[in-house]
Amino acid sequence: MNLGKWICIALLVCLGLGCYPAPAQAHGFQTSYLELREQPSGQVEVVWKTPSAMSFGDEGLSSPMTISPVFPSHCTGVTVPKVMATPTTRITRWTLDCGKNGLAEETIAFPGLLQSSLEVLLRVEWADGHSQTTMVPTGEETFVIPEKTTVFAVGQTYLKLGVEHIFSGIDHLLFVLGLVLIVGPSWRLVKTITAFTLAHSITLGAATLGLVNVPQAPVEAVIALSILFLASELAHSRQGKPGLTEQYPWLVALTFGLLHGFGFAGALAEVGLPPQDIPPALLFFNVGVELGQLAFVLVVVAVMESLKRFGSENYPRWLGWVPTYSIGILASFWCFQRVAAFWG
């Protein structure tokens, strides 16, 4: 295993450590979320969920969250907004009265959205029982709420959510990274990633459709343990002691893939599925996850291959352990953090 490969992976791990605060629940979306629940009386229950802080412009400057949705003039407040804040999230709830005109085909504005790094996910539950989930187009500060969405629009929204989720889930990416490091660029890697994909697709679908119900907090803790297991396997591999993953990578990927699927389902549960379009929404979310995962694997493999020309004879051997210990330390931290989260 050449040093160029290890240096490449070390940089990727360090990037993850620097860019992600390692939250207890690593599977989640970093977008703002607006939920509207229309009542038969014409009143609308509003939930506005945003990060506690956001960045502006190319400088990445952090600022307290100030963006709020502005509703049509015929909508009047019924209750005073109630705010609940956590270290990472700010949730505001209130009720509007939009009368007989309602909100269908009406415009909502988001002043200041263009200057921020935020995207807004909008979920509407109409009084007649049907619901829809759409993403406010990037670069827009206003959005017309459609009365109904097409299957294409649903697929586009959930495809984007799937891609965004995989790139925001650093724990999932570290697991895939461990598989790539142990198996290496080969046909075995293709079979391993395929097994992982099939496994988490099964549990994602089963959990999302309500066929299986598993508490999310313990799942997140065991996902961290799965990454720690791969770090241990990676250490054994460097010592010339092939472990279970090196001998049967597809089996390990299949087993832990079932577990990671429950993690994906927990994130998807935050958004929900439109009842009338469950099959395409679930399908495209899963496709988005797979596209993001495939892109990550291809980038890692491409960089590894491009660095093969560098030899390791002129470098100290301890550098090769940097990725192993980086992955292991971060996974250990997550284990303690997530166990404490659901036991405390």
pLDDT tens, residue by residue, 131-152: 788 888 777 888 898 877 777 8
Mean pLDDT value across residues 166-170: 84
Mean pLDDT value across residues 89-99: 90
The torsion of the CA quartet 21, 199, 272, 117, rounded to 10 degrees, works out to 30
- Please choose, from the candidates 136, 137, 139, the residue with its C-alpha nearest in 3D space to the C-alpha of residue 114: 139
Q: What is the pLDDT of residue 59?
A: 42
- Please choose, from the candidates 106, 91, 90, 119, the residue with its C-alpha nearest in 3D space to the C-alpha of residue 38: 106
Question: Whole-prediction pTM value?
Answer: 0.72
- Please choose, from the candidates 252, 246, 253, 247, the residue with its C-alpha nearest in 3D space to the C-alpha of residue 196: 253
Is residue 13's pLDDT more than 50?
no
Neighbours of 279 (CB within 10 A): 12
Q: What is the pLDDT of residue 200?
A: 92
Residue 298, both tokens = 């291809």
Beta bridge partners of 134: 122
pLDDT tens, residue by residue, 267-307: 787 777 776 778 888 899 999 999 999 999 999 888 777 76
What is the C-alpha to C-alpha distance for residues 38 and 23, in angstroms, rounded to an integer?
33
DSSP string, 177-206: HHHHHHH-SSHHHHHHHHHHHHHHHHHHHH
Q: Residue 10 to residues 6, 14, 165, 304, 326: CA-CA distances in angstroms?
A: 6, 6, 23, 12, 8
Is residue 184's pLDDT more than 70?
yes
What is the C-alpha to C-alpha distance for residues 272 and 285, in angstroms, rounded to an integer?
11
Is residue 89's pLDDT more than 50?
yes
Neighbours of 62 (CB within 10 A): 11
Backbone angles phi, psi at 134, to 5 degrees: -140, 155
| Distance of alpha carbon 338 from the chain centroid | 17
What is the C-alpha to C-alpha distance for residues 344 and 338, in angstroms, rounded to an integer?
10
Q: What is the pLDDT of residue 71?
A: 93
CB 256 within 8 A of CB 175: yes
Number of DSSP helices (H) and strands (E) in the chain, helices first: 9, 11
CB 258 within 8 A of CB 199: yes
